[in-house]
Structure 1
């Protein structure tokens, strides 16, 4: 994979959901707690790849490419610039011996409530 530095022009926020007391009334609410922010490059699929995924659990997923990061975990939640939250469905790490390595992260829109 060859990517230019200018391809990484968007930022994904990664973190977890925690129950935090509401400042107004003290009730617990689910809140996104950011652990890290990384630059990413969106990756598109070919039409053949999209047709292959029809009817599978990966049908409505999005691919992003980040620089290799060992602290990235599938239990994390991602927030893209569209302000929607995504579950990490899969991480495809670059296991090559290259100096600069890239991971492909598969994201699926989170259907649970996050405030």
Structure 2
């Protein structure tokens, strides 16, 4: 199924966790630090993808499409509607075409 960039109607924030010291009790806590955001569209996961993720005990996943961006890595965290997700895999489209996309799980 072709990806239509007009369906990119939501924002996702990409970033990482950073340890900060709580000034009240001096404990370290991890907080999300946003690096950048991109427009995205949801994609339908195939049954094969769902079964593979379930077999690896990975649940509550989303498959999204963004315009190709080399800044997005598998070490990042994605925040969609205030819910944090780890970027598990990136299917990158590295062609030199004008319209290239990445699929992120």
TM range (shorter): 0.7 to 0.9
Residues 85 and 51 of structure 1, relative CA distance in 2, 3 Å threshold: closer
Which residue number in structure 2 is paired with residue 94 of structure 1? Answer: 93
Instruction: Name structure 2 gaps, 5 residues minimum.
Output: none
Q: How many residues align?
A: 104
Residues 44 and 62 of structure 1, relative CA distance in 2, 3 Å threshold: same
Q: Cα offset for 1:75?
A: 0.6
Residues 98 and 78 of structure 1, relative CA distance in 2, 3 Å threshold: same
Q: Cα offset for 1:12?
A: 0.7
Deviates more, 1:17-26 or 1:63-72: 17-26
Q: Is it true that 1:9 corresponds to 2:13 in the alignment? A: no
Say whether the 8 Å CA contact 1:50–1:59 is kept in structure 2.
no
Say whether the 8 Å CA contact 1:12–1:79 is kept in structure 2.
yes
| Distance in 2 between residues matched to 1:31 and 1:54, nearest whole Å | 27
| Distance in 1 between residues matched to 2:57 and 2:97, nearest whole Å | 29
**Aligned-partner SS, 2:87:** strand
Instruction: Name structure 1 gaps, 5 residues minimum.
Output: 107-115
Q: Cα offset for 1:45?
A: 2.2
Which residue number in structure 2 is paired with residue 38 of structure 1? Answer: 38
Which residue number in structure 2 is paired with residue 110 of structure 1? Answer: none
Q: Cα offset for 1:74?
A: 0.7
Q: Cα offset for 1:23?
A: 4.0
Alignment of 1:78-89 (within 5 A): 78-81=78-81, 83-89=82-88
**Aligned-partner SS, 2:63:** strand
Q: Cα offset for 1:52?
A: 4.2
